[in-house]
Chain A
């Protein structure tokens, strides 16, 4: 199985701050990488698909980039509703696998 390593596991940040979450795959995944957000009530929604494509309805302050084994999610200016868990997920190989998650917390 492809291992997905996310860093950091938690990140204190302030409103308006720019933050970047990293995700590294144990082998190249050809940009087959999605990002999801999970709120504290368990609700999960997709943010980014195929490395850098914004899911419909997701604000433009979210962006994704990367290639090969290294990928990142950037939020350009944090809003109150952005404090949540974030997961990367690869779909290059089955089984699909997720990163360990990054908890974005209010500083």
Chain B
């Protein structure tokens, strides 16, 4: 079945770089896109970016200068790298599969989330 699993360090120092990996199974990265979404504790969800099935990344404009999304199709992995981390980047980071349907473009499967704390 379709699964996504985020992994990465739970603690990152301020000004350092966050590196997260989303390992997927049950589908191909060349057939589906993968999104990254984060959630501050007790807050709503924030869309960060997307790795399209053709290998192109898209980013929320506010993060263009410090966010990079890439992939390794041979390992079924999508990577998120965010630099210059601040305490405001603390939260839970999710990866989610993107699927097109008639009229629809939906995140139809989600990982369990990776908790990230930015602190010295």
Contacts and interface: CB of A to CB of B under 8 A. Distances in A.
What's the dominant secondary structure at chain A's contact region? loop
Contacts of A99: 44
B50 to A, nearest CB: 8
How large, as a class, is the contact surface on chain B?
A: 20 to 34
Nearest to B103: A50
What's the dominant secondary structure at chain B's contact region? strand
A53 B103 contact: yes
Given A95-B61, A98-B45, A100-B44, A45 B106 contact: no
B105 A32 contact: yes
Given A44-B94, A94-B58, A95-B61, A50 B102 contact: yes
Given A31-B103, A91-B105, A43 B112 contact: yes
A53 B44 contact: no
Contacts of B60: 94-95
A34 to B, nearest CB: 5
Contacts of B105: 32, 49, 91
Nearest to B102: A50
B54 to A, nearest CB: 16
A96 B106 CA distance: 11
A87 B102 contact: no
Interface of A: 31-32, 34, 36, 42-46, 49-50, 53, 55, 87, 89, 91, 94-101
